[in-house]
Amino acid sequence: MTSGREEASAPARASGTFVIGGELSVHRLGFGAMRLPGVRVESRNPSAAREILREAVRFGVDLIDTAQAYGRSEEMIAEALHPYPEELVIATKGGLGRGGLPDGRPERLRADCEGSLRRLRLDTIDLWQLHRIDPEIPLEDQFGAIRNLRDEGKIRFVGVSEVSLAELDRARQLIDVVTVQNRFNLGDQAADDVLRACEEEGIGFIPWAPIAMGHLLGSPGALGSVAARHGATQAQIAVAWLLDRSPVVLPIPGTGSLEHLRENLNAALIEFSENDLLDLERDAKQSGRPPL
């Protein structure tokens, strides 16, 4: 049984849960590990990134998102957390080549998946996501390779990243898709049609850049005023808004700072009033962003 003290120290649990693929129940507020290899103190304090990962798990995070393309991120996760807690879901991605360009050749997708398995010290990746669809390779070949990896037991569930609605529909004709990872935040809602489709189909929607790489912060508008009303930071309001936006949204704010990690996760404790949401919606419309 979990003590009250442990419950109080695990704010990620306040975000509610979502069941990925009908089998993997996770708390909706996860952690994005893209920035871990860039922790500036790592060269003189190699334990910094590992401590951030351990603290995230202590705070109730059970969904960590990484990728083959994120430098040493996968290795750091294994160094910090292996052997993994039974409930922890690690999602990773493959299919990016040099210069961040899509590389959907079947042999590249296999190499990326098998490399991730080695670095993460796993036999099966719970959620493997195609980082980008490669327009130069037939979709049938890309998803055929992924399906083979799944059938071999190297991948449990499949997701896609940065897809249009038409691409999502086509992908779903070729393979079961349980998550979509698109850029989405209070200042960029261009993927709203994809999010709505995910809601209809029960597909998890993982918004990357949940605070627009920090560009949302310092706003004198509704984001600032709502933050002031709650005694919160603007980053917390941006993350809380995503949690409120839809029950299928799984935000993955990342950081290289323990202080910001705790700040991000405490966003799960914020409850908006109707006026809060109206103010944020009004501000988004006035700034020319797509409506909520």
Q: Which residues are catalytic?
A: 70
DSSP calls for 135-182:
TTS-HHHHHHHHHHHHHTTSEEEEEEES--HHHHHHHHHHS---EEEE
Judge whether 209 and 188 are in contact, CB under 8 Å: yes
3-state secondary structure of 72: coil
Q: Which amino acid is at 260?
A: H
**How far apart (Å, rounded) are the C-alpha atoms in residues 163 and 26?**
23
**How far apart (Å, rounded) are the C-alpha atoms in residues 201 and 269?**
27
3-state secondary structure of 14: helix
**How far apart (Å, rounded) are the C-alpha atoms in residues 227 and 178?**
33
Own/partner long-range contacts of 40-45 (Cβ < 8 Å, ≥24 apart): 40/256
**How far apart (Å, rounded) are the C-alpha atoms in residues 159 and 278?**
32
